Amino acid sequence: MTHFRLPPLKSLLAFRHAAKSLSFKEASEHLNVTQAAISQQIKTLEYTLDMTLFERQTRQVSLTVEGEQLYQYVEQAFDLLEQGVRTIVEDPNPNRLAISTLPSFASRWLVSRIGTFQAIEQSLNLYLIPGLQIASFQDQELDISVRFGQGSYSDLKSELLFEEFLIPICHPSLIDQNLPIKPQLAKLQIIEDSGPDMTATWSVLQQHIVDDTRKLPSHLKVSDATILIEALLSGQGISMIRFSLVYDLIKKGQLISPLPFYMKSTYHFYLVAPPSHFKYEKVQKFRKWLKQEVKEIQTSWEEYRDQTEGLILIDPTEQKHSPNNR
């Protein structure tokens, strides 16, 4: 098939507006260029096509038969191009903000705070979509995701919200602070979170509870941290859990960390969306609000780290202790 070379896009755009208004002057004003520039682009187009597109009179211009025919196609082509650009740039639902996130983050942190954002942005209707897997953006219903992972998502932009840390947690009723801690913990079952970020943590927890090769019982495994927290609150055992989900419960005395160590999670929290979504005004407002709110998590972590006597950092991949660098 013979390859046909299109005329310059700039010449076609000048022709579109000159043909629509039948005025080189109006076309120049619309495109913010000189009338001479429009005239030159039209001449370039006529030269490229080897045909006359305008009949030029003293005070006006009119389209030739070929010009009329070309204009119909040029107008349709630019309309379609503008529609495509609007589809990927403009927000199709400016008054609706759909947010996908983990059920645990939604129920344990976001829902209790989202009311302050609603009070600020009263024209926005919020739609929370909890899910363990990242939702699809293909149907244009979803605006932004708050995800827990390693920050790499195919064809999506991600921004770090905050880093996550893991600490051992149990109910305070299970521990008598006047007695040695480890023998008491050795009688508890380990409640395991089956998430991929938690795989290396259970052997570390075992080693810090018992000094021999005994394996502590683990008869309960969960796939959602919300269920895990409920099990801990009901005194069913000990577990490793994300600090962001329990720091308020620790402050209230509803849960405690019985051992002075922590691990840096291999997963962290990110804002995730197609790059164009980050340009939406509503997403920019939510992003600004959320980044301000999550500072509370970082501040609480720094307070916990500084106030916990003898706190050490454990690297689960090396099984070694590292001094707490503050």
pLDDT digits (tens, 9 = 90+) for 298-309: 999 999 999 999
Q: Please calculate the CA angle 266-270-272 and round it to the nearest 5 degrees.
A: 130
- Over range 47-59, report the average pLDDT: 91
pLDDT score recorded for residue 204: 86
Interval 273-292 mean pLDDT: 94
Q: Look at 31-40, 149-158, 256-265, 312-321 and tell me which has the smallest mean pLDDT.
A: 312-321
Looking at residue 214, its pLDDT comes to 65
Residue count (the chain): 326
Residues with Cβ within 8 Å of residue 129, at least 6 apart in sequence: 98, 99, 100, 101, 135, 142
Domain boundaries defined on the chain: 9-89, 96-163+269-293, 165-264+307-322
Q: Fold match between 9-89 and 96-163+269-293?
A: no
| Residues 196-248: tens digit of each pLDDT | 888 888 888 888 887 666 677 777 899 889 999 999 999 999 999 999 999 99
More confident residue, 213 or 320: 213
The fold for domain 9-89 equals Arc Repressor Mutant, subunit A (1.10.10)
How high is the pLDDT of residue 92?
74
In whole angstroms, give the CA distance from residue 139 to residue 174.
Answer: 49
Mean pLDDT to the nearest integer, 285-299: 96
CATH of domain 96-163+269-293: 3.40.190.10
pLDDT(154) > 90? no
Cα separation, 197 vs 205, whole angstroms: 14
> According to the model, what pLDDT value does residue 86 have?
72
Separation in Å, CA 54 to CA 19, 38, 45: 8, 13, 11
Q: What percent of the chain has pLDDT over 70?
A: 93
Q: What is the pTM of this model?
A: 0.72
Range with the largest mean pLDDT of 120-134, 135-149, 198-212, 292-306: 292-306
Across the chain, what does the average pLDDT equal? 90
The stretch 313-326 carries a mean pLDDT of 56
Q: Give the pLDDT of residue 245.
A: 95
Tell me whether strands 125-130 and 96-101 are parallel, antiparallel or unpaired.
parallel
Can you give the three-state secondary structure of the chain, one letter per residue?
A: CCCCCCCCHHHHHHHHHHHHHCCHHHHHHHHCCCHHHHHHHHHHHHHHHCCCCEEECCCCEEECHHHHHHHHHHHHHHHHHHHHHHHHHCCCCCCEEEEEECHHHHHHHHCCCHHHHHHHCCCCEEEEEECCCCCCCCCCCCCEEEEEECCCCCCCEEEEEECCEEEEEECHHHCCCCCCHHHHHCCCCEEEECCHHHCCHHHHHHHHHCCCCCCCCCCEEECCHHHHHHHHHCCCCEEEEEHHHHHHHHHCCCCECCCCEEEECCCEEEEEECHHHHHCHHHHHHHHHHHHHCHHHHHHHHHHHHHCCCCEEEECCCCEEECCCC
Residue 284 in this model has a pLDDT that exceeds 70: yes
Higher pLDDT among residues 6 and 269, named by residue: 269
Mean pLDDT of 116-140: 88
pLDDT for res 325: 31
Binned at pLDDT 50, 70 and 90, residue 24 comes out as: very high
Query: If one looks up domain 165-264+307-322 in CATH, what number appears?
Result: 3.40.190.10
Task: Give, in degrees to the nearest 5, the angle at Cα 21 between 19 and 26.
Answer: 115
